[in-house]
Amino acid sequence: MANILITGASGFIGSFLVEEGLKQNHQVYAGIRKSSSREYLKDNRIHFLEFDFSSRAKVLETLEYCKKNNIRFQYIIHNAGLTKAQKKTDFYTVNCQNTIHFIEALIEANMVPEKFLFVSSLAAYGPGNPHTGEPVRNVHEPKPIELYGKSKLDAERYITALKDFPWLIVRPTGVYGPKEKDYFVFFQTISRGLEPYIGFKKQVLTFIYVRDLVRLIFLALASPHVNKAWFVSDGKEYPSELFAEITKKALGKKTIRFTVPLFLVKTIAVVGEKVAGLWGTIPTLNTDKYNVLKSTNWRCEIEPLAEDFGFEAEYDLEKGVKETLDWYKKEKWL
């Protein structure tokens, strides 16, 4: 049993990390903000800690409170992060700068844990080579294609340059599961009888079901490994049509299939970004998103997961999508 702090505990992945921590009988500290929803954090064994990562001094206030109350963390999972932002600078501020404040405060307060696990993303490395189809590997040079990925890579670079700091990094591919709100839009579109594709080139997608990801994260914490990074996917590759097929089968739906040409998506992204830019915001479909949508190779290496942890995903897309859709239906999202 260990003391574990999980930041971003109120979010999709965070709430599953909390659930897994409790299942494994750890003392779980949910790192949240004043404004965070506690909708998925109802278990009365959860300890709550409010963090403000906007400055090192503010993080120190919470750490000093912990020290006074004899709270020390063996493990920290720094999962708080932004996957979508209102302003372009928000990605760097939240994903990188806040991580730096957090780590500096841990060092200053002499509260460096036995392991600090940073939840990065495959986006930090960007997609694989579209011509060879080779998976993205640790040995490759990172080539993020959008600001989100760049901000995760900046944070990784800060962390990996630290001396005597016991970091671990996971870089999940697309994570799906109950409570998730982005893939949900796709599931909703299929359930409405529409099957959209973007561009005519075949896209290969990869996924990891949220329960497999959290299991892997806890295996990494309990392992002897330190100062090491892993990509995480379920090890399978899914052409985008297969993702749609699996969803249609699980929903029992027939669909109208259509393709939006890339040039049209790009035009909407560029114009939308210019207009929204007048108000200092970014539209949902922006040039970064366009870069992601047009990338065809999202394979990543998973062999080290088997070598280091004997990890094999329990969920493939078919099993995970079924469980996810059952949850959406039960909660009346669909």
What residues make contact with ligand NAP under the rule CB under 6 A? 8, 10-14, 33, 35-37, 53, 79-83, 94, 98, 119, 121, 172, 174-175
**Could you give the CA distance from residue 229 to residue 194 in angstroms, rounded to a whole number?**
38
- Identity of the amino acid at 290: Y
Separation of alpha carbons 259 and 188, rounded Å: 17
Query: By C-alpha distance, which of 116, 123, 109, 102 is closest to 56?
Result: 102
For residue 27 the two structure tokens come to 């003392």
> Whole-number minimum distance, CB 275 to ligand NAP, in Å?
25
Nearer to ligand NAP by C-beta: 214 or 244?
A: 214
Nearer residue to ligand NAP within complex by CB, 49 or 246: 49
> Considering the complex, what minimum distance in angstroms separates the CB of residue 62 from ligand NAP?
12
CB of 231 to ligand NAP, least distance (A): 10
205 vs 246, beta carbon nearer ligand NAP = 205
Q: Which is nearer to ligand NAP, 94 or 255 (CB)?
A: 94
SS3 197: strand
Distance of closest approach, residue 193 Cβ to ligand NAP, in angstroms = 25
Q: How far is the CB of 267 from ligand NAP (least distance, A)?
A: 27
Of all residues in the shown chain, the one whose CB is closest to ligand NAP is 11
| C-alpha to C-alpha distance for 61 and 82, rounded to whole angstroms | 23
Distance of closest approach, residue 13 Cβ to ligand NAP, in angstroms: 4
Question: Considering beta carbons, is residue 37 or 223 the nearer one to ligand NAP?
Answer: 37
β-bridge mates for residue 239, sequence order: 204
Nearest approach in angstroms of CB 261 to ligand NAP is 26
Q: CA–CA separation, 172 vs 184, rounded Å?
A: 18
Q: Are 101 and 159 in contact (CB under 8 A)?
A: no
Q: Which residues of 266-305 are buried (b: 16+ CB within 10 A; e: fewer)?
A: beebeebbeeeeeeeebbebbbbbbbbbbbbbbbbbbebb
Q: Write down the least CB distance from residue 87 to ligand NAP, Å.
A: 12
The tokens for 259 are: 């393709």
Task: Name the residue nearer to ligand NAP (CB basis): 96 or 111.
Answer: 96
**15-19, long-range: CB < 8 A, 24+ apart:** 15/40, 15/41, 15/179, 16/177, 16/210, 16/211, 16/213, 16/214, 17/77, 17/79, 17/214, 17/217, 18/43, 18/46, 19/43, 19/214
Q: Of 52 and 308, which CB lies nearer to ligand NAP in the complex structure? A: 52
Residue 178 contacts residue 328 (beta carbons within 8 Å): yes
Helices (H) and strands (E) in the chain, counts: 12, 13
- Cβ closest to ligand NAP, residue 47 vs residue 257: 47
